[in-house]
Structure 1
Amino acid sequence: MSTNSSNLYNTTGIQLPKDACVVIVRTEWNAETIDKLEAGCIKVLQENKVQYRVIMVPGAFEISFAVKNYWEAHKYKEDKPHAFIALGCVLRGDTPHFDYVCKAVTDGVVQLNLSLPVPTIFGVLTVDTQQQIDERVGGKHGHKGEEAGITALKMMALKNSFK
């Protein structure tokens, strides 16, 4: 989601499902960055009175597994999530590992969005430098954690409007 839209942060009039719940799946890897993304995400959810849970996974590659298995374990329970938010950061190194992990995480989130009845929001930074990270957690490119939270709200409202 681009920060160029003046309507990006506007959540006025959004109709969320009753007892809306979001599960944030975040990585342990690059914890300092992910802590900032998570804080921004939680700020938005709390401002909009949305319940949330946080699940930790080792790295970005494991996000899809956690989302799918959490959904399977909770889909018939009262506390089933209305959306998932994937938070991670993949920083380019000297090997092609970056490309493989980025593709796997992206493909995994796409598959989740096509197979689960609730949205999975892509809040994974794929960056080359620490400067690019800083620009995306409150710098000139906005706050991608807050944007992920807002996107979850808007997607839950969209799904809710189909009823």
Structure 2
Amino acid sequence: MATNLKNLSDYNKSNVPSAANMKFGIVVSEWNEEITEALYQGAYNTLVLNGANPNNIIKKYVPGSFELTKGSKYMAECTDVDAVICLGCVIQGETPHFDFVCNGVTQGITQLNLDYNVPFIFGLLTTLDQQQALDRAGGKHGNKGDEAAVTAIKMVQMGRSLNR
């Protein structure tokens, strides 16, 4: 469903398990900091609202969105997190750089999900302009960070229910 048809912050709280006994890593791109910090705040607040202990939320920065995959791999290998939330923002410019970065991050996060027994959550905004990013980082379309946090909680619960 297109974001303009659904608010990223809307979710049925009764369908979200408690995050009380879960530990999360959040890897945040420093590039487009205004956007990525808003995404982080959304994710952090949603995790806590759903029972996560703030001491069980680890935040680490990477320089740009392309580095999200390696930073997230480090997070999974060097900590005991139950899920890694990858937050970044790529805004289209005048060169094909946008396409290469978006494709690389998408493929990288997909590969991490296949290689590890920890869910890696795709919280990358890929927008045509700054306003679209702002609209999806707490603006009129909600916050992709909220959606990423709910996804992380649900994926951890799914893994636990299957005795991963």
The number of residues matched between the two structures is 158
Alpha-carbon spacing, 1:150–1:66, altered in 2? closer, same or farther (3 Å): same
Considering only aligned residues, what root-mean-square deviation do their CA atoms show, in Å? 2.2
Q: Which residue of 2 aligns with 1:37?
A: 39
State the Cα distance separating 1:140 from its structure 2 match: 3.3
Q: Which residue of 2 aligns with 1:105?
A: 105
Where structure 1 has 5 or more consecutive residues not aligned to the other structure, the ranges are 75-79
Alpha-carbon spacing, 1:99–1:30, altered in 2? closer, same or farther (3 Å): same
2:58 is equivalent to residue 53 of structure 1: yes
Alpha-carbon spacing, 1:121–1:146, altered in 2? closer, same or farther (3 Å): same
Partner of residue 19 from structure 1, selected from 7, 18, 21: 21
Partner of residue 9 from structure 1, selected from 8, 11, 18: 11
Residues 16 and 150 in structure 2, CA contact (< 8 A), matched pair in contact too: no
Structure 1 residue ranges, 4+ long, deviating more than 6 angstroms after superposition: none
State the Cα distance separating 1:69 from its structure 2 match: 2.0
Identical aligned pairs, as a percentage? 43
Give the Cα separation in 2 of the matches to 1:37 and 1:134: 10
Residues 85 and 152 in structure 2, CA contact (< 8 A), matched pair in contact too: yes
Structure 1 residues 58-81: Cα deviation after superposition (integer angstroms, max 9, x where no partner): 00111111111222223xxxxx01
Q: Which residue of 2 aligns with 1:81?
A: 81
What's the secondary structure of 1:12's corresponding residue?
helix
Residues 19 and 153 in structure 2, CA contact (< 8 A), matched pair in contact too: no
Partner of residue 75 from structure 2, selected from 56, 59, 70: 70
2:152 is equivalent to residue 147 of structure 1: no
Give the Cα separation in 1 of the matches to 2:13 and 2:87: 21
Where structure 2 has 5 or more consecutive residues not aligned to the other structure, the ranges are none
Q: Which moved more, 1:116-125 or 1:16-25?
A: 16-25
TM-score by length of 2: 0.87
Residues 14 and 157 in structure 1, CA contact (< 8 A), matched pair in contact too: no
